[in-house]
Amino acid sequence: MSKRLPQRASEWLKRDKPISFYFEGQKYQAYEGDTISSALWAAGETVLGRSFKYHRPRGVLSLANHDVNVMLADGTDTNMRGDVLPVQDGMQLTVVNTDGGVKNDKKRFIDAISSILPVGFYYKAFHTPRSLFPFWENIIRKSAGLGVVNFNYPRELKRKLHTHCDLLIIGAGPTGLTAALMAAPHGVNIIVVDENAQAGGSLSYDLGGSDESAKRLADLLAELAKYPNVTLRTGAYAAGYYTDHLIPIVETTGITKVRAKAVIVASGAFEQPPVFRNNDLPGVMLATAAQRLLARYATKPCESAVVFAANKQGYRAAMDLLDAGVTVKAIVDLRAEGEPCSLVDAIKSRGVAIYNGACVYEVLPAANKFGVKGAVICSYDEASAKPLLHDRFTLACDGIIMSAGWAPAAALLYQAGTGMRYEKSAEQFVPAKLPAGMFAAGKVNGIFDLAQRLQDGARAASEALTYLGKQVPSVTVDREYIASPSHPYPMVEHPKGKNFVDFDEDISIKDFVHAAQEGFDNIELMKRFTTVGMGPSQGKHSNMNAIRILARIRQLPVERIGTTTARPFFHPTPIGHLAGRGLHPHRLTTLHGWHEAHDAEFTDVGVWKRPAWYRRAGLEKQQAIYEEALAVRKAAGMIDVGTLGKLEVRGPDAAEFLERFYTGSFKTQKIGRTRYALLLDEAGVMVDDGIACRIAEDYFYITASTTNAAAVYREMQRWLQIWQLDVGLVNVTGAYGGINLAGPAARGILSRLTLRPLDDASLPFGAVCDTEIAGVPARLIRVGFVSDLAFEMHVPAGSAQHVWNALLENGAAEGLRPFGTDTQRLLRLEMGNHLIGQDTDGLTQPFEAGSEGAIQFEKPFFIGQRSLQIIARKPLNKRLVPFTLSEGYQGETINECNLVIGADGNIKGRVTSIAFSPTVGRFIGFAYVDPANVAEGAAFNIRTDSGSLVMARVAATPFVQLQSEA
């Protein structure tokens, strides 16, 4: 039966835009502006979902984004919240987590056996015998969870924007709008956000039988529209509070990260359900939900209602029900005193009976628990919180409208570090000590009377403006309550239970009692044991009642119980929104395009992309690498080393600086020569290495490894601050390209591109000079990392391509080929050079790596020196050695990280590098071994993947025979 009312002034529906959709296979009509739940309710549907644990039928509870029992799937998406999601034309909706549909859910039997599933039952069963747990676990996992994830759901791009404002106001209800209006004339930049589709908050639904709210809202919005410095964003929720007033605002389209100078939280309060048997049946709903249905969606909550109230809101809702033509059978007021406000007479005059000091003892379910058929009413003793059954009677009705109190929507205040106190006169937690720049107003501040809320909004605006440095008069608010907006203990016990506190998790009063009796009588323990507040609504309708129950159990005041910690997010927030674009920065050398065009296989080296090797038609990876390596050994090869760190150290104290920073000696270094530069940390661990080129007396040019360059430069800067030497540091890593040309033909090729003599006398190993190559100003370094004859050229990054091309052209005849990092690894291994990061790890010190030669112990100071002095006196645990496998080894492949096993069966070390060298004709590598066994020719055992032992022998380096020039 349709519950849709004729058009109402307050409604959000677009009557001229009818739409249709499907729910559980049935077709329904709705209007644009409906939510899924409002459309179904208007169509007379009551069973909108099933509860998570007991599979009880559920309908509308709050219509405020915590009706988490109404979760839907549309074939693409799942866990869609019916109470707030706009219904769209053509939607095909089904309810999640049912077995056989929402009406015929086969799992509904669980409700009948709920008594054998007491709180925490799963801790007490299924674990013995151990072997059966996987069986039970499988069943438990399948029955848990809500919707089924769609593995084909498209990856959505949601933009995340930063924005900044002077004042962010959260909540566009009467309080927030008033605050905005008060602040607007003072020239501050204001953003107002509200999660609802339209602004107004309670003004948009809490009519209380008059059109005053609507008029006030229209006035406020009209006034506010005059200020260009105010932005009002609806359909936008504040998802959390983060340090220094960073608040992400979530909308369908994306996230706006607002950095505000001041924040007014006017987020209102969540209405809390009174707790009584069957308070979860479809047709039992919060007063504000009924009002939302009536005002926004022109839909009757029911035809014939019993209002179960303990505050004024119930009476206001009764007025709205009456105005909409709903029969109000009675108002059942938990309070012996009843309601003091003037609405009482108006309601009585319309023939509604009011029972004070009474309760709804239980709700009588309609067939299949699909709705309500009546309410059992009896007297209630407020002091003992006991129903008095002697005078009970039944009223037939199809709806229970309940209103017993509130919990502040204070999540963001808590997250910001607000100290809260329990305001007894309002029976509510309210802010006591707010962090700088945070302000709270309205219901969240414990103020409910509309006139007082408006005042409170003005007060918060005045305080925020003062905080922002504006001169404004202060505003005071009288916090007065004719009656408390919240009841201190709106619970009605029932021997048969099913008086629900947490609708997400189907937790009723007895569960709390049992949990407390088992020792979980601290609010946090109780939460964890009962799972109260851990469901998708995160306790929005349950935490406050749980606290009240625990306080009663422990006979403590509510404030002694405290609250559980509020954490982001205020509402569950989609991963796609939070992820945004997902930026992954990477660096490329200017040769990258060439590498791509020549079939390079790239590898990530830190933030860089580097060619690992180049594909060649008909060649497997390993073969391609061998060919690249053989080219270097037999003719020439070249590699893009533009990614190397390039650091300039200049000034009168440059050599002194390097002596302290690196392990070697640099004061004696000659201009035009290079030296090995090894960097340790203060614990003596090897961090990085490179070469230091002395360009002038006061000018060194240093290379650092690709991955460590930024960190090495940063450390140089920091130590320079401490040492205060007369040095200037320049990081030119990106400014220069780098090319390493290696192999016997290298000199010949290069000599055709430069006038600089390249012979051993003019440019010996370890020499550096500035010259021109192919017309490009270049720094030329004679290096030996991958080959005994190699030239490293550093040229302006924009010219690297020109030099690369020139080398290729000139070297084509000799067989010059490019090679990548995989080949470079093999080549340096053949040369007997270890690699920091590959042959060392995060704790390797130079004695283990055999790098003592790079250390000038006699210097007055270098980083790590004092630690090395200590380490030097300790026995060495392992030592890196070069090794070979026997000639013609054909056995199982030895892999890097295979272990070196001693005669005692213990681990002595591991293989850090191994490769078959086509030049040497056997397997060569580096391994950590027992330091007592490092002499050339000493044998040790390596254990293969399959567990067999293979003998290796310590070898001399370089592995390759140094070759004369081709």
Partner 1 sequence: MTFIQTSPVSHAQHHAYPVMGSLNGMEIALEFGTPQIQQAEAAVAGVAEFSAFTRFAVKGAGAAEWLSAQGITLPPAANSWLMQDSTLVLRLGNSEYLLEDQFVTGHASRLAQGPAPVGAKLYPVARSDAALVLSGQHALSILAEVCALDVAAELANNQRLLMTQVANISVTLLSQTLNGETVYRLWCDGTYGPYLWHELTAMAQEFGGGPVGLSFYFK
Partner 2 sequence: MPLRLLKYALSRKHPAPRFFRDCTEPKKSYDAVIIGGGGHGLAAAYYLAKDHGITNVAVLEKGYIGGGNTGRNTTIVRSNYLTPEGVNFYDASVKIYEGLSEELDINLFYSTRGHFTLAHTESALRTMRWRAEVNKHVGVDSYVVGPDEISKACPQLDISCSGKAPIVGALYHGPGSIARHDAVAWGYARGADSMGVEIFQNTEVTGLDIQSGKIKGVHTSRGYIATNKVLSAVAGFTPRITNMAGVDTPIVIHPLQACVSEPMKPWLNTILVSGSLHVYVSQSSRGELVMGSSLDPYEVHSTRSSLDFVEGLTSHMLDMFPFLSNVKIVRQWAGMADMTPDFSPIMGTTPVEGFYLDAGWGTWGFKATPISGKTMAATMANDQAPELIKPFRLSRFEDYDLTGEKGAASVGH
Partner 3 sequence: MKLLTCPVNGTRPLSEFVFGGEIRNMPDPAQASDSAWAAYVYNRTGAPGLKKEWWYHSPSGTWFVAERNTLTDQVARTYLYGQEDKA
Strand, coil or helix: 898: coil
Identified binder of partner 3 from the candidate list 714, 762, 852, 949, rule CB under 8 A: 714
Options 7, 128, 471, 724; binder of partner 2; rule CB under 8 A: 128
- The reply to whether 164 sits near partner 1 by the rule CB under 8 A is yes
- 589: contact with partner 1 by CB under 8 A: yes
Residue 233 or 634: the one with the smaller Cβ distance to partner 1 is 233
Structure tokens at 957: 């380096």
Does residue 467 interact with partner 2 by CB under 8 A? no
Give the whole-angstrom CA distance, residue 53 versus residue 121: 12
* Residue 668 near which of partner 2, partner 3, partner 1, none (CB within 5-8 Å, type-dependent): none
Would you tell me how many other CB atoms lie within 10 Å of the CB of residue 928? 25
Is 556 a binding residue for partner 2 by CB under 8 A? The answer is: no
Euclidean distance between the first and the last CA atom of the chain, given in angstroms as a whole number:
97
- Least Cβ distance, residue 645 to partner 1 (angstroms): 12
Longest dimension (CA), the chain: 116
> What is residue 235's DSSP assignment?
S
Q: Is 649 exposed, middle or buried (0-12, 13-18, 19+ CB in 10 A)?
A: buried
- Pick out residues in 495-554 that bind partner 2 (CB under 8 A): 513-515, 517-522, 524-525, 528-529, 536, 538
- Note whether 553 binds partner 3 by CB under 8 A: no
Which lies closer to partner 2 via its Cβ, residue 122 or residue 857?
Answer: 122
Interface of this chain with partner 2, residues 851 to 890, rule: CB under 8 A: 867, 870-871, 874
The tokens 């391994």 sit on which residue?
A: 927
Neighbour-count burial for 392-430, b at 16+ CB within 10 Å, e otherwise: eeebebbbbbbbbbbbbbbbbbbbbebebebbeebbbbb
Nearest-angstrom CA–CA distance, 926 and 930: 13
CB 843 to partner 2: min, Å: 4
Task: Write the DSSP symbol of residue 153.
Answer: P
- Identify the three-state secondary structure at position 639: strand
Kindly indicate which of the ranges 360-368, 529-537, 728-736, 845-853 contains the residues binding partner 1, using the contact rule CB under 8 A: 728-736
Binding flag, residue 265, partner 1 (CB under 8 A): no
- Distance CA(409)–CA(582), nearest Å, equals 32
**Is 415 among the residues that bind partner 3 (CB under 8 A)?**
no
Instruction: Return d(Cα 859, Cα 855) in angstroms, integer.
Output: 9
Q: Is 728 in the site for partner 1 (CB under 8 A)?
A: yes
Of these partners, partner 2, partner 3, partner 1, none, which one is at the site of residue 590 (CB under 5 to 8 Å by kind)? Answer: partner 1
C-alpha angle 535-538-542 in degrees, rounded to nearest 5: 95
Instruction: Give the list of residues 6+ apart from residue 277 with CB closer than 8 angstroms, or none.
Output: 361, 362, 363, 492, 494, 496, 497, 498, 499
Q: Per-residue contact track with partner 1, 596 to 625, x per CB under 8 A?
A: x-----------x-----------------
Selected binder of partner 2 within 112, 116, 617, 755 (CB under 8 A): 116
- Which of residues 109 and 765 has its CB atom nearest to partner 2 in the complex? 109
The conformation of residue 106, written as its DSSP 8-state character, comes to G
Nearer to partner 1, 734 or 832 (CB): 734
519 binds, among partner 1, partner 3, partner 2, none (CB under 5 to 8 A by kind): partner 2
- Residues from 564 through 583 that contact partner 1 (CB under 8 A): 580-581, 583
Nearer to partner 2, 155 or 433 (CB): 155
Q: Nearest to residue 745, comparing CAs of 806, 795, 813, 809? A: 813
Q: Is 752 in the site for partner 1 (CB under 8 A)?
A: no
The entry of partner 1, partner 3, partner 2, none near residue 798 (CB within 5 to 8 angstroms by kind) is partner 1
**Is there binding between residue 718 and partner 3 (CB under 8 A)?**
yes
Rounded to the nearest whole angstrom, what is the least distance from the CB of residue 425 to partner 2 in the complex?
28
For partner 3, which residue of 381, 682, 726, 892 counts as binding (CB under 8 A)?
A: 682
The two tokens of residue 314 are 């119930």
Q: Applying CB under 8 A, which part among 227-235, 404-412, 615-623, 734-742 lies near partner 1?
A: 734-742
469 is a site residue for partner 3 (CB under 8 A) = no
From the list partner 2, partner 3, partner 1, none, pick the one residue 721 interacts with, judged by a Cβ distance below 5 to 8 Å according to partner type.
partner 3
Instruction: Phi first, then psi: give them for residue 167, nearest 5 degrees.
Output: -140, 120
Question: Which residues sit opposite 5 in a β-bridge?
Answer: none
Q: Is 124 in the site for partner 2 (CB under 8 A)?
A: yes
- Residue 129: asked if its preceding bond is cis (omega within 30°), the reply is yes
Q: Residues, the chain, total?
A: 966
As beta bridge partners, residue 163 has 258
Cα–Cα distance between 926 and 705 in angstroms, integer?
20
Selection from 563, 556, 554, 555 nearest residue 532 by Cα: 563
Backbone angles phi, psi at 331, to 5 degrees: -110, 125
Residues 6+ apart with CB under 8 A from 337: 356, 483
List the one residue from 22, 126, 227, 242 that touches partner 3 (CB under 8 A). Answer: 242
Report the residue from 233, 587, 616, 953 that binds partner 1 according to the rule CB under 8 A: 587
Report the interhelical angle of 821-830 vs 621-634 (nearest 10°): 50
User: Does residue 586 belong to the site contacting partner 1 (CB under 8 A)?
Assistant: yes
Q: Which of residues 374-433 bind partner 2 (CB under 8 A)?
A: 415
Residue 605 has φ and ψ, to the nearest 5°, of -120, 100
Q: Does 528 bind partner 1 (CB under 8 A)?
A: no
Task: Considering only the stretches 305-313, 543-551, 693-701, 835-843, report the one whose residues sit in contact with partner 2 under the rule CB under 8 A.
Answer: 835-843
Measured distance CA(896)–CA(912) in Å, rounded: 5
Look at residue 724 and give the partner it binds from partner 2, partner 3, partner 1, none, a contact being a CB closer than 5 to 8 Å depending on partner kind: partner 3
**Cα–Cα dist 401/305, whole Å:** 7
Counting contacts by CB under 8 A, is residue 22 touching partner 3? Answer: no
Q: Cα dist. 361→290, 309, 377, 486, 542 in Å?
A: 21, 13, 5, 19, 20
Contact between 259 and partner 1 by CB under 8 A: the answer reads: yes
Size of the site for partner 3 (CB under 8 A): 19
Whether the CB-CB separation of 795 and 591 falls below 8 Å is answered with: no
Interface stretch with partner 3, choices 67-75, 211-219, 242-250, 686-694 (CB under 8 A):
242-250
Name the residue nearer to partner 3 (CB basis): 733 or 754: 733
The interface region with partner 3, picked from 44-52, 84-92, 380-388, 716-724 by CB under 8 A, is 716-724
Q: Which stretch binds partner 3 (CB under 8 A): 350-358, 719-727, 891-899, 924-932?
A: 719-727
Q: Which of 197, 579, 588, 934 touches partner 1 (CB under 8 A)?
A: 588
The binder of partner 3 chosen from 130, 151, 152, 861 (CB under 8 A): 861
858 interacts with partner 3 by CB under 8 A: no
β-pair partners for 330: 306, 353
Residue 394 one-letter amino acid: T
Other beta carbons within 10 Å of 263: 28
Q: Is 870 in the site for partner 3 (CB under 8 A)?
A: yes
- Nearest Cα residue to 565 out of 347, 241, 945: 241
- Is the CB of 337 or the CB of 682 nearer to partner 3? 682
Residue 61 and residue 47 in contact, taking contact as beta carbons nearer than 8 Å: no
Given 717, 893, 906, 961, the residue binding partner 3 (CB under 8 A): 717
Shortest separation between residue 904's beta carbon and partner 3, angstroms: 30
Q: Would you give the binding string for partner 1 spanning residues 766-795, x where CB under 8 A is met? A: --------xxx-------------------
Contact residues toward partner 1 (CB under 8 A) are: 159-164, 257, 259, 580-581, 583, 585-590, 592-593, 596, 608, 642, 648, 650-651, 726, 728, 730, 732-736, 774-776, 796-802
